[in-house]
Amino acid sequence: MLLYPHGKRITLVELRDMSGSIPAPEVPELGPDRWYGALYYEVIPVKRGGKTYYTLLGWKGHSKVETRKVIDVLHFTGGQPRFGAPLFGSGRIRAHRKVYGYSFQAVMMLRYEPAQRRILLDHLSPMRADMEGQWAFYGPDLSYDAWKLEGNRLILVSDVEFANQPDQNDALYNDPTKPSTHQKSGFSQQ
């Protein structure tokens, strides 16, 4: 279900997951009656030319052996929700959404970094060269890519640098290579 404001009213629309009948999910723009379903965990509003697009980061349990992450775009045309927009890549024909398949035993990072205005993701590779194209045998290879907003499109940048941003909990980190000079409460030294 999708709940959104439309004029002075709140509108509730049923989303019908038709993933199984969408052979090339990255290509078409879709409506709520034919949606490439995912559980969205992050929504990134982007204003372009007086219109707001919502970049959606989602997870999809595709099968018993393959999981997927999805970058989709939600926008409204005539007050109706539409999924997908030709924003990914360059050239005349662009993808409307990005879908990443990988092994159900792996974990793929896909998150928005507001300071860099990019969507950071694990680069996925097959376990062996002969498994190329079989997404159930893909996993992170310890390198990172990013979708960077440039003008009115997202451009893929390969092999980007990634480091955790400093935060307030860094002061609590106890480096195991440096012995602590104070005793933690609840633990005794033997």
List, for residues 27-48, the tens digit of each pLDDT value.
Answer: 999 999 999 999 999 999 988 7
Q: Residue 4 in 3-state DSSP?
A: strand
Digit-coded pLDDT (tens) for 100-132:
999 999 999 999 999 889 999 999 999 999 999
8, part of any domain: yes
List the domain range (segments joined by +) for residue 142: 2-165
Q: From CA 83, how far away is CA 96, in angstroms rounded?
A: 8
Task: For residue 89, give both structure tokens.
Answer: 């890549």
Per-residue pLDDT at 189 exceeds 60? no
Classify residue 183: in a domain, yes or no: no
Q: What is the pTM of this model?
A: 0.84
Query: Is residue 73 within 8 Å of residue 84, measured between CB atoms?
Result: yes
pLDDT digits (tens, 9 = 90+) for 153-165: 899 999 998 877 7
**Span 2-18, pLDDT tens digits:** 998 888 899 999 999 99
Q: Quote the CA–CA distance of 12 and 112 in Å, as a whole number.
A: 27
Task: State how far the alpha carbon of 92 is from the alpha carbons of 49, 86, 89, 156, in Å.
Answer: 20, 10, 9, 16
In a domain, 41, yes or no: yes
